[in-house]
Amino acid sequence: MNREFGIVYNSKYSNVKNPPNHPLQGSRYLKSIEFFEEIGLLSMPNIKLIDPEPATTDEILLAHTKDHLELVKRLSEIGKGQFDHDTPAYKGIYEVALLTTGGSLTAMRSILRGDVECAMNLSGGFHHAKPDQARGYCIFNDVNILGTILLNSGIQRVLYVEIDAHFGDGTYHFYKESPKFFTLSFHESGESLYPYYDDHLFGEGEGYGYHVNVPLPIWTDDNAFLYAFRSIFLPVVSSFKPEFIIFQSGVDGHCRDWQSHLLLTKRVYQEVARFIRNVMDSNKTKLIVLGGGGYDPMAAALCWASMINELADLQLNLTGYDDECEKEPYENVNTMEKIEQIVDGLSPFLSPEKPSR
């Protein structure tokens, strides 16, 4: 099947002006696009480059307070200040944030209009931002805005699945009481990685049981990750029956990316994308993909290309491009055994009957 696949991107995504030692640099977007060009991805007939429209202030206010929006605008004008210890302001950050957030909304609209079957915002997936605060490199939470628009449009069941190395706490807390917006998060455990959250969060009130976290131990490798993904993603899909999937495809769990202690390679990203594509094909589920984390530009480019290759069914041969892993476990951990225990513990949450507390 030759599906139409949109890549939402504009060279202004690279206008990020964090200090040189900050992990998030605008170069990752440009490097990715250059790599896509090099491997022929952009010239495939079913790939469409889509220009992002900046988000409007009304759209931002769907998931944020007016005070937060005004603060971002003000610090952007003066060009200095900090939102939190690792989220600095710079001149123009407001415009960059509106454009990268708007890119996710552009991707959604192009799918809903039927221009493409599936679209990826090369930026977006800013899952740490809270309604009243920018945090963890995230200024506006595009996931929360997307979810609000989709649910307001009458869609009953949205599945948000993230494979970013970090737990999307800003999105979890926004939706924890909702049984219509399922959050499924595969991330490095809060014991060893930001945002250092309790790993056992399953939602609250009516939302209890509609939120599942899979806290991966340090040095989780491809086999252990794929075991967890396979064991949990498919049961969640068959019990929740999503109409729409938002996939936050952060690649900072890659074995070259020093933002995490995970050892994943392009194989994981390829296989995860294949699982998701199969769900789209068999259930006619709509899919939007958001970039998310990924701080080694070459690894990010390779992983995102591997995912698009599967999702758009391009059949490009990427065997000549290696992962060039750099991380070495400095501790011996039997990750597979730990992951089997985690998966067993989550089994009550994988059926349509939700467990009682």
What are the backbone angles phi and psi of residue 86, rounded to the nearest 5°?
-115, 15
Among residues 252, 257, 271, 296, the one that binds Zn ion under rule CB under 5 A: 252
**Residue with Cβ nearer Zn ion (59 or 252):** 252
Q: Which of 72, 335, 316 is nearest to 223 (CA)?
A: 335
Span interacting with Zn ion, options 32-40, 41-49, 90-98, 160-168, rule CB under 5 A: 160-168
Residue nearest to Zn ion (CB): 293
124 sits near Zn ion (criterion: CB under 5 A): no
DSSP 229-265: HHHHHHHHHHHH--SEEEEE---TTBTT-TTSS--B-
**Type of residue numbered 94:** Y
Residue (203 or 250) nearer to Zn ion, CB: 250
- Structure token digits, residue 207: 């939302």
Q: Is 257 in the site for Zn ion (CB under 5 A)?
A: no
294 binds Zn ion (CB under 5 A): no
Measured from the CB atom, the residue of 142 and 252 that comes closer to Zn ion is: 252
Instruction: Figure out which of the listed residues 102, 125, 242, 293 binds Zn ion, where binding follows CB under 5 A.
Output: 293
CB 125 within 8 A of CB 248: yes
Residue 117 or 252 having the CB closest to Zn ion: 252
Closer Cβ to Zn ion, 164 or 310, answer by number: 164
Strands in 128-243 per DSSP E = 158-162, 181-188, 211-216
**Least separation in angstroms between CB 163 and Zn ion:** 10
Q: Which stretch binds Zn ion (CB under 5 A): 13-21, 91-99, 227-235, 289-297?
A: 289-297
SS3 44: coil
Query: Comparing C-alpha atoms, which of 136, 246, 261, 149 is closest to residue 195?
Result: 136
Q: Does residue 188 interact with Zn ion by CB under 5 A?
A: no
CB of 257 to Zn ion, least distance (A): 9
End-to-end Cα, the chain, rounded Å = 44
Nearer to Zn ion, 125 or 207 (CB): 125
Residues that bind Zn ion (CB under 5 A): 164-166, 250, 252, 293
